[in-house]
């Protein structure tokens, strides 16, 4: 608990469409926090390293087919299998920067037409983030960035549906950043938000569960 004096770490989630810049910003944030002497780790969902994660990875790369409800629950299970480790890390003072979380789960599955509340249900009881930042970009703009890869969901028409589902999901607690700005400008805004959040958690903001 180096710099943290026994206080807890913050759970910080970045969300956004494919190519919105989440992974780029997550690694910049990690360096920033570590440079300030904080204990911090970078996590991402899906976590493709676990048994469930391997099934998800095979599905995303179109090497296997699964019913939409089944894959939805596997994405959720992939978060549940990390929940206790996540809680432990936070309680022992490590801040987690998380690249996609439950919001991706709901947005992508409801974009396929699954019932919105049904999609939210398996996420109940997972840890609620202390900060959700949405990297806001039009699907058309995101598509211009180096082009999509070959994975399932990496198509403009589907990304447009996902964008609409994120709109339904987002609430007033989310921070929204215009992700079309230069990478350094996005980074600067994010750093301010993240530092405020880390401080609030150090001062004793309690952990809570989804959905608040
Ligand atoms: N999924 C799901 O269905 N259910 C769930 O519960 C979860 C996920 C958790 C796997 O995602 C898929 O799983 C995903 C959602 C679904 N499907 N889709 N789409 P992933 O995390 O493995 O892949 P991704 O994160 O969506 O894709 P990505 O391409 O890695 O996007 P990114 O991380 O947001 O972007 P990036 O890699 O940081 O940047 C993309 C490019 O843009 C890169 O060349 C950068 O240099 C460039 N870039 C970044 N920022 C800028 C700015 N500001 N200006 C210009 N260029 C920039
Ligand atoms: Mg990424």
CB 205 within 8 A of CB 12: no
Question: Does the pLDDT at position 1 exceed 60?
Answer: no
Q: How many CB atoms lie within 10 A of CB 16?
A: 26
Any idea which ligand is nearest the CA of 146?
Answer: 1
Indicate if the alpha-carbon torsion angle 145, 14, 170, 47 is positive or negative. Answer: positive
Q: State in Å: Cα 24 to ligand 2 middle.
A: 7
Position 122 scores a pLDDT of: 99
For the segment 42-58, the average pLDDT, to the nearest whole number, is 98
Over the stretch 61-90, which tens digit does the pLDDT of each residue have? Answer: 999 999 999 999 999 999 999 999 999 999
pLDDT at 149: 81
ipTM of the complex, rounded to two decimals: 0.97
Q: For residues 119 and 106, give the distance between their C-alpha atoms in angstroms, rounded to a whole number.
A: 5
Look-up of token digits 């028409």: 157
Q: Given this model, what pLDDT does residue 3 score? A: 58
Q: Is the pLDDT of residue 147 over 80?
A: no
Question: How high is the pLDDT of residue 42?
Answer: 98
pLDDT in tens, 154-198: 999 999 999 999 999 999 999 999 999 999 999 999 999 999 999
131-136 and 40-44 strand pairing: unpaired
In this model, does residue 114 exceed pLDDT 80?
yes
Q: Which residues surround ligand 2, an ion (CB under 5 A)?
A: 23
Q: What is the reported pTM?
A: 0.97
- CA dist 165 and 149 (Å) reads 22
CA-46 nearest atom, ligand 1:
9
161 lines ligand 1 (CB under 6 A): no
Q: What is the mean pLDDT of the chain?
A: 96
Beta strands in the chain (DSSP E): 11-16, 40-44, 95-99, 131-136, 175-178
Q: For residue 142, give the ligand nearest its CA.
A: 1
CB atoms within 10 A of CB 60: 18
The Cα-based distances of 111 to 14, 69, 142 in angstroms read 19, 12, 17
Mutate to test the pocket of ligand 1, among 100, 119, 190 (most ligand atoms within 8 A of CB): 100
186 Cα nearest atom in ligand 1:
53
Q: Which residue has the tokens 């929204």?
A: 176
């Amino acid at each position: 608990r180096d710099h943290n004096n026994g206080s807890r770490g913050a759970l910080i989630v970045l969300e956004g469409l494919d190519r919105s810049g989440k992974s780029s910003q997550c690694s910049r944030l990690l360096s920033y926090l570590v440079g300030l002497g904080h204990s911090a780790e970078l996590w991402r969902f899906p976590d493709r390293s676990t048994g469930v994660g391997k099934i998800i990875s095979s599905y995303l790369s179109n090497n296997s087919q699964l019913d939409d409800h089944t894959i939805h629950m596997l994405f959720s299970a992939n978060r549940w299998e990390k929940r206790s480790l996540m809680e432990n890390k936070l309680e022992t003072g490590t801040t987690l920067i998380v690249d996609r979380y439950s919001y991706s789960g709901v947005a992508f599955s409801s974009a396929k037409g699954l019932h919105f509340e049904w999609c939210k249900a398996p996420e109940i009881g997972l840890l609620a983030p202390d900060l959700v930042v949405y990297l806001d970009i039009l699907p058309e703009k995101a598509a211009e960035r180096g082009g999509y890869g070959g994975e399932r969901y990496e198509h403009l028409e589907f990304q447009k549906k996902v964008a609409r589902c994120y709109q339904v999901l987002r609430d007033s607690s989310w921070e929204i950043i215009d992700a079309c700005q230069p990478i350094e400008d996005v980074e600067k805004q994010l750093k301010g938000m993240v530092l405020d959040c880390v401080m609030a958690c150090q001062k004793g903001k309690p952990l809570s569960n989804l959905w608040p």
